[in-house]
Amino acid sequence: MKTVFQYGPRLVLLAAGAALLAQGAMAAETGDAAKGKAVYDGTCVFCHGQNGKGEIPGTPDFTKASGPLSQDDSVLIQHITEGFESPGAAMPMPAKGGNPELTDADIRNVLAYLRAQFGHQK
Ligand code: HEC
């Protein structure tokens, strides 16, 4: 009995810590849409538009079910990070939207925002 009283609270703390860690890991993987909005508004909106349908010729419509967001996260993260040009495109997508300061986390966050705001969950 004595040992239970001694170690019980510590076990509870350990479990709470593990849950927090697990939450952090999930957020890192899926991205934070609220933070992604700031990235979008700062870097992407000029070409892709507030409504995600494209502001200038050559930009795709994110809201279309068969549009770019129907692709896997891994593909989209690569295309956002490295840039992308489809065959016969009027204009390529610049790497990181032309903002080299964007981090990997920024890109995961902005993708989460694209999916939340315009997208079709996959
Ligand atoms: C200078 C204009 C411009 C900016 C800024 C820009 N894009 Fe793009 N983006 C484009 C164009 C043009 C395409 C279409 C390229 C093609 O199909 O060849 C595109 C395509 C995309 C695609 C679809 C890729 C695919 O696989 O079909 C995604 C996702 C995307 N942009 C996300 C972003 C994000 C996120 C940002 C901000 C970090 C951003 N873009 C900033 C012009 C831009």
pLDDT in tens, 53-108: 999 999 999 999 999 999 999 999 999 999 999 999 999 999 999 999 999 999 99
How much distance in Å is there from the Cα of 49 to the middle of ligand 1? 11
User: What would you report as the CA-atom Rg of the chain, rounded to the nearest whole angstrom?
Assistant: 20
Q: Which residues line ligand 1 (CB under 6 A)?
A: 39, 43-44, 46-48, 58-60, 68, 71, 76, 79-80, 84-86, 89, 91-94, 96-98, 110
Q: DSSP character for 95?
A: G
How much distance in Å is there from the Cα of 50 to the middle of ligand 1? 14
- Residue 52: strand, helix, or coil: coil
- Dig out the tokens for 13 from the structure: 């703390």
Residue minimizing CA distance to atom 27 of ligand 1:
68
- Dig out the tokens for 1 from the structure: 């009995």
pTM recorded for the entire structure: 0.82
